[in-house]
């Protein structure tokens, strides 16, 4: 309840700053004392207090919300889905993405190990959805190390990519910004990465450094640590013009198919709304 109250406060702040869509980090509502604790708070798909909070808050604020991740029950009593839920401003769920790449690693140089697959079932579907600020490709945290996922999202028309995360400190210090900017540059695509920050009650420490990166790899906004809100405009017109003038996506020879490129002249020139990320 405390976490939902904190998220609600940040979402209201995002709305007051003029956001059309706000993104929360991975595990925004719950990080257990131990990994198995997620089984106790898992909700049936479409039901439960966390999902009700997302729907009600979106409707009350007239705000689209990407709910980081929420633990959703599956077919197994011992494994759940780590699901990113996209809610529109009327409180309707538009999309659900289940995290595909699970964090099964030992952190180099530390006595720190994670086996996310012990209690989480990996997703199998690439998910893209229309939003007020363009077509969104969904992903979560560890996914960002697998560029083929983002190639497929862009091939399906993604104009911005969400990467809610709870990164470890050693890997965050080494790779966080580099990975985010790389995904943005190679896909000529905006990247929005709301990140957990600080030491949690379990003793786990997350890296933070919430970022919004543009299609050229420039950091538009960041919050290094702590709770708060950052905002940036997603300018689809400039992005489309850059993709047309610098057609790296169309020049690909290997891997997934090239996306259907939209000529810059065909892109509406209306005012572009903002994407806002609560850290």
Q: Which residues are catalytic?
A: 26, 99, 141
β-strand partners of 195 = 165
Give the 3-state DSSP-derived string for 171-222, with helices as H, strands as E and coil as C: HHHHHHHHHHHHHHHHHCCEEEECECEEECCCCCEEECCEEEECCCCCEEEE
27 sits in the region (left: phi over 0; alpha: psi -120 to 50; else beta) called left
Rounded Cα–Cα distance for residues 8 and 43 (Å): 19
> What tokens does 176 get?
């966080």
Residue 36 DSSP one-character state: G
Backbone phi and psi for residue 114, each to the nearest 5 degrees, phi listed first? -130, 135
Rounded Cα–Cα distance for residues 151 and 139 (Å): 12
Rounded Cα–Cα distance for residues 279 and 262 (Å): 32
């Amino acid at each position: 309840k405390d976490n939902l109250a904190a998220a609600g406060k940040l979402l209201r702040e995002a709305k007051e700053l003029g956001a059309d869509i706000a993104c929360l980090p991975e595990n925004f509502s719950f990080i257990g004392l131990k990994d198995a604790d997620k089984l106790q708070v898992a909700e049936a798909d479409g039901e439960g207090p966390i999902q009700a909070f997302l729907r009600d808050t979106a409707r009350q604020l007239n705000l689209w919300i990407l709910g980081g991740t929420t633990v959703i029950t599956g077919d197994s009593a011992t494994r759940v889905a780590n699901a990113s839920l996209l809610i529109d401003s009327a409180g309707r769920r538009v999309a659900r993405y289940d995290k595909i790449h699970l964090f099964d690693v030992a952190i180099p140089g530390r006595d720190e190990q994670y086996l996310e697959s012990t209690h989480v079932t990996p997703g199998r579907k690439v998910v893209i959805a229309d939003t007020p600020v363009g077509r969104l490709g969904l992903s979560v945290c560890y996914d960002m190390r697998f560029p083929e996922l983002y190639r497929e999202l862009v091939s399906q028309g993604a104009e911005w990519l969400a990467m809610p995360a709870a990164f470890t400190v050693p890997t965050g210090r080494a790779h966080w910004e580099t990975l985010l900017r790389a995904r943005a540059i190679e896909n000529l695509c905006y990247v929005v990465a709301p990140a957990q920050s600080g030491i949690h009650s379990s003793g786990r420490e997350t890296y933070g450094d919430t970022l919004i990166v543009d299609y050229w790899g420039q950091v538009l906004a960041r919050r290094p640590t702590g709770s708060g809100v950052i905002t940036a405009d997603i300018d689809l017109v400039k992005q489309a013009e850059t993709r047309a003038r610098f057609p790296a996506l169309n020049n690909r020879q290997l891997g997934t198919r090239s996306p259907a490129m939209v000529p810059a002249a065909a892109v509406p020139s209306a005012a572009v709304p903002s994407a806002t990320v609560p850290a």
